[in-house]
Amino acid sequence: MKIAVLGYGTIGSGVVEVLERNGESIAKRAGEEITVKYVLDLREFPGSPIEDMLVHEFSTIAEDEEVGCVVETMGGIEPAYSYVKECLLRGKSVCTSNKALVAKHGAELLEIARQKKINFLFEASVGGGIPIIRPLNQSLTSEEILEITGIVNGTTNYILTKMSQEGATFEAALKEAQDLGYAERNPEADVEGHDAGRKLAILASLSYGMQVDFEDIYMEGITKITDTDFKYAEVLGAEIKLLAQGKKVEDKFYAMVTPKMIREDNPLYSVRGVFNSILVKGNTLGDVMFYGSGAGKLPTASAVVADVIDATKHWGTNITTIWSSKKLALSDHKEAESGFFVRVPEAEEAKAREVFGEVEEVKLSAAAGVVGEFAFLTKKMSEKAFEEKAAKVTVLNRIRTEWTAE
């Protein structure tokens, strides 16, 4: 199998490295040797091991019939989408780590692959090296998936872990993440939940077999989470995590990315730092969880290479993936229900109790140094009901909770 790699950035160069390092066992698993014939990049890499394979024109790859599989690690929608589509139409399998591309055009590209009896694979697009796409497609096939909840953004999980463990403010934790290279200089895509939203679009589309559009997902980031919130979380035995959740509640489907408080009974509770984890709830299976490095050069590249091996093994046959281009009608997130942790000024305690009815007060010790507040947990209610009540008091902050008092 001759392959081409589109884009020699972090992941692309990782793919070349993994193929090199584990070449022997990869050939055994794939049933034949896998060699990189071309690397497409606009830059030059003089003296690098890929110097001889480097091309600057996509057409060189597209028109070479010897290339059976193309790895796309450029990122972004264009020109990735045009390139990938052309490769598939020309009968080349494609393996990609590009979540934006998969979230937006996954259904169409899978359909082309199906017609051409080749494969469009994207294990690395969610959760880096964690096997989650293939298990959803091939292992959890006997399940009706009721819920899929992921910690799928390492940057925000790193920041939240720092805030939890060291009492850092959001700003300080973000700065540290940036200094360590875990967060970008413009961190918006991560901290506002958009990266997690794209991954959720993919996970939910696969879980329910229909198109879930990124644009329809309700997203709330972590920028409003404060060190004070974490003081309360500690008292509650809770962690605050950015959860990407797809849920089926009776006939309704919800997809939301929001920071939530979770307790130790939730398997995601102990997922720390840049690690990712995805929890799937099936109707007969109960909970299963997949955990690992959600990003990073080699783990992500490893997942891409596993796809290349699968494409090689399945040369001439399409691996069924159920993802219709028909759009899944998501319910308004305001109908989704959860409990809420709420902080209001101390002076409004009586009013809050009146508005929210029965609440469970959350008290900090004096040593916490937080004064003049009344904090509490509500019963389970819809977002809409919460907003109506919240409008009647001065909400300092509110965080959804995964557990609720009955």
The residues that touch a copy of itself, with contacts defined as CB under 8 A, are 17-18, 21-22, 25-26, 28-31, 123, 129-131, 134-135, 138-144, 209, 264, 267, 269-270, 282-293, 296, 298-299, 301-303, 305-306, 308-310, 313, 317, 320, 322
For 99, which DSSP code? Answer: H
CB of 306 to a copy of itself, least distance (A): 5
Contact in structure between 60 and 299 (CB atoms under 8 Å): no
- Name which of 128 and 193 has its Cβ closer to a copy of itself: 128
CB of 218 to a copy of itself, least distance (A): 26
- Picking from 81, 8, 79, 22, the residue whose alpha carbon sits closest to that of residue 308 is 22
- Round to whole Å and give the CA distance between 83 and 76: 12
The residues, any chain, with a CB within 8 Å of residue 40's CB and separated by 6 or more, are 4, 5, 6, 7, 8, 54, 55, 56, 57, 58, 60, 61
Which residue among 104, 162, 199, 241 is the active-site one? 199
Give the Å distances, CA to CA, from 152 to 44, 139, 194, 271, 301: 33, 20, 11, 11, 17
Give the Å distances, CA to CA, from 341 to 245, 262, 356, 373: 19, 11, 12, 13
CB of 211 to a copy of itself, least distance (A): 16
CB of 26 to a copy of itself, least distance (A): 6
- Name which of 300 and 338 has its Cβ closer to a copy of itself: 300
- Phi, psi torsion values for 221, nearest 5 degrees: -90, -160
Q: Inter-axis angle of helices 154-166 and 170-179, to 10 degrees?
A: 130
- Name which of 266 and 378 has its Cβ closer to a copy of itself: 266
CB of 141 to a copy of itself, least distance (A): 4
199 is catalytic: yes
- Name which of 49 and 76 has its Cβ closer to a copy of itself: 49
Burial code (b: 16+ CB inside 10 Å, e: under 16) for 288-298 equals eebbbbbbbbb
What single-letter amino acid sits at 123?
E
- Name which of 8 and 275 has its Cβ closer to a copy of itself: 275
Contact in structure between 189 and 155 (CB atoms under 8 Å): no
Q: Which helix (H) or strand (E) holds 325?
A: strand 324-327
CB of 270 to a copy of itself, least distance (A): 5
The strand ranges marked E within 9-85 are 35-40, 54-55, 67-72
Q: Which residues have a catalytic role annotated?
A: 199
